[in-house]
A and B are shown apart, each in its own frame.
Chain A
Amino acid sequence: MPDDLVVRAQRGDKGAYADLAAGIVDRLLDVACRILRDPHLAEDVTQQALLSAWKRLPQLRDPARFEAWAYRILVRECYAEGRKQRRWATNLRLLPVEPIAFDDLSSVVDRDQLERGFRRLSVEHRAVVVLHHYIDLPIERVAELIGIPVGTANSRLHYAMRELRAAIDADARPVPREAAQ
């Protein structure tokens, strides 16, 4: 992100900010989709995050950190959305997502188990998984970006991966008759 574009936007230049947003929106939306697992919610959250970043942009001390700062705001917006979703957890619906490749996933069952396992995680846990395993940030950078201690980030990642492994493993276990009914 060109620093001068950020500084111009900090001074209220809407055109400059539109250019900034255009340069980052794909990446933010991509991450939001993977955290929230709902493209419509992800669009809303990304839009809200970019508007929140515009509002707070004059507070950004180092223009060079704009992108990392925007990610941080996005994750915060995802948290807020997650809190709203929890209120409606009883009505949770699984929106279909489309697989584009199978790679290491040998079955649709695996994918479905992972999807369900991931959705059972809190948004806070999902964010750590996505930032670390999707955009490949070292866990220290994840912690810094989210604003949590490294130990907490590690703990969330460990817990999330354990749950996801359990979700995958569930596919290998015989389904109890009662549960299948």
Chain B
Amino acid sequence: MSTDREPTRVVRSWLRSTAFHASADRVLDGVVEGLDTTPQYRATWWPVRRLPEMNNTAKLALGAAAVVVAALLGINFLLSGGPSIGGPGPTNEASLAPDPTPTALRAADPLEPGTYVSHPLESNPSLAVTFTVPDGWQAYDAATLAPLGDDSTQGPDGAAFVFLEISGIYSDPCESLGDPDVDGGVTAEDLADAFSAQSAYEASVTDVTLDGYSGKQVELQLPSEFDASCPRDGYFVFGGGPYAQGADNRWHLTILDIEGSRLVIFTHDFAGTPAEARADLQAMVDSIAIDIDIED
């Protein structure tokens, strides 16, 4: 009987000769219906291949990324000078004092130097971050900045500054199609511990305080040869956010606990990133002032 058959031929024939009563129309209806309730991740931060007809605004919209960018709620709430529950104020004397009239951060190329405000946490839109942007930067969206120029986030000399909300990380950054498989907990320490426990890349953790809020400073040294092992999907350390922008990418995460919320201030660079860009990144971080809206 079948012992004499060549199994491959039999299996191929069997696979082709079976009919299933499945409805593609039903699937498609479900997909179309589900699009309204399935938000896309924010447009990828990685400036993917651009279409020739795209204008600058569209390019930035396409290239922008951040896990979360809350709707900008206007700028006047910070102008009242009302009480901040955010802590004692900037601790770094190098901080630039917040401009009395911060501008809502939005996509711009170039971004006018000055003081901007962002509401980067979807989980807590009342949290406002004010910071000062130097000359020579562009904004992809309300939470993502990069040096002027195309591909300016990418190695070997790129840089970027992003506000993030991270819920979990990938144990294998090359396998990022599903949701992150390592829970990031709820506190800065939880997330720092998650980074420390993984083995895919180097991580170091120290304590940090920014604008009176304490947290963890996590330094990640991403590998040199991830492209070979992640040929298509990129090297995603966590879900929905930036992915490695080139070999030997250095990620700097300031993770803060703020009134029950967790904010991640993310910058990255490379060994070849110009000193001026690195200084800009540090100045932007140092200038951060955090506030929380108090409703009337």
Interface residues of A (CB under 8 A from B): 4, 7, 10-12, 14, 17-18, 21-22, 25-26, 29, 33-34, 39-40, 42-43, 46-47, 50-52, 54-63, 65, 68-69, 72-73, 76, 80, 97-107, 110-111, 113-114, 129-130, 133-134, 144, 147, 161, 164-165, 168-169, 171-172
CA of A9 to CA of B38, assembled, Å:
13
Give me 10 other A-B pairs in contact (C-beta within 8 A), A11-B61, A133-B15, A172-B2 excluded: A10-B48, A29-B22, A47-B31, A72-B232, A98-B18, A100-B18, A110-B10, A133-B8, A168-B5, A171-B2
Contacts A56-B177, A169-B2, A172-B1 hold; do A47 and B18 have CB atoms under 8 A apart?
no
Contact, CB under 8 Å: A105 / B17: yes
* 24 A-B interface contacts by CB (under 8 A): A10-B48, A11-B61, A14-B35, A21-B31, A21-B32, A22-B28, A34-B20, A39-B22, A47-B27, A51-B38, A58-B43, A59-B234, A98-B18, A100-B19, A104-B9, A104-B10, A105-B13, A106-B2, A111-B14, A114-B14, A130-B15, A133-B15, A161-B7, A168-B7
A60 cross-chain contacts in B, Cβ below 8 A = 44, 48
Given contacts A47-B30, A63-B49, A102 and B17 within 8 Å (CB-CB) = yes
Is B279 engaged at the interface, CB distance under 8 Å to the other chain? no
* B residues in contact (CB < 8 Å) with A: 1-3, 5, 7-24, 26-28, 30-32, 34-36, 38-44, 46, 48-49, 51, 58, 61-62, 65, 174-175, 177-178, 231-234, 236, 240, 243
The reply to whether A61 and B35 form a contact with Cβ atoms under 8 Å apart is no
Residue of B nearest to A157 (CB): B8
Contact of A42 among B14, B22, B28, B232 (CB under 8 A): B22
Q: Given A58-B41, A58-B65, A147-B174, is A46 in contact with B5 using a C-beta cutoff of 8 Å?
A: no
Name which residue of chain A comes closest to B172, CB basis.
Answer: A147
- Cβ contact within 8 Å between A72 and B177: yes
Chain B at the A interface: SS class: loop
Q: Is the CB of B48 within 8 A of A164?
A: no
A61 touches B232 (CB 8 A): yes
Residues of A within 8 A of B177 (CB): 52, 56, 72-73, 76, 147
- Does B20 lie within 8 Å of A42, measured CB to CB? yes
User: When the two chains form their complex, are residues A11 and B62 in contact, meaning their CB atoms are under 8 A apart?
Assistant: yes
Contact check, A61 vs B31: say whether CB atoms are below 8 A apart.
Answer: no
Q: Which residues of B contact A134 (CB under 8 A)?
A: 12, 15-16
With CB as the reference atom, state the residue of chain B lying closest to A114.
B14
Interface SS, A side: helix
Q: Which one of A40, A58, A104 has the highest number of Cβ atoms from chain B below 10 Å of its Cβ?
A: A58
Choice from A11, A43, A61 contacting B22 with Cβ under 8 Å:
A43
CA–CA, A12 and B49, complex, Å: 16
Q: Are the C-beta atoms of B34 and A51 separated by less than 8 Å? A: yes
A69 and B232 form a contact (CB under 8 A): yes
In the complex, A102→B5 CA distance in Å? 14
Min C-beta distance of A52 to chain B, whole Å: 8
Asked whether B39 lies within 8 Å of A76 as measured between CB atoms, the reply is: no
Are B11's CB and A133's CB within 8 A? yes
Min CB distance B249 to A, Å, is 15
Task: Give the contacting residue for A11; candidates B14, B30, B58; CB below 8 A.
Answer: B58
In angstroms, Cα B178 to Cα A80, docked, is 10
Chain A nearest CB from B45 CB (Å) reads: 9
The answer to whether B17 touches A10, judged by C-beta atoms less than 8 angstroms apart, is no
Residues of A within 8 A of B14 (CB): 105, 110-111, 114
Give the residues in chain B near A106, CB-CB below 8 Å.
Answer: 1-2
Closest to B25 in A: A25
- Kindly state the separation between the CA atoms of A98 and B44 in the bound complex, as whole angstroms: 44
One of A43, A103, A165 near B13 (C-beta < 8 A):
A103
B-side contacts of A12, CB under 8 Å: 40, 43
Q: How far is the CA of A163 from the CA of B218 in the complex (A)?
A: 48
**Chain B residues, CB < 8 A from A57:** 40
Chain A residues with Cβ below 8 Å from B27 are 25, 29, 43, 46-47, 50
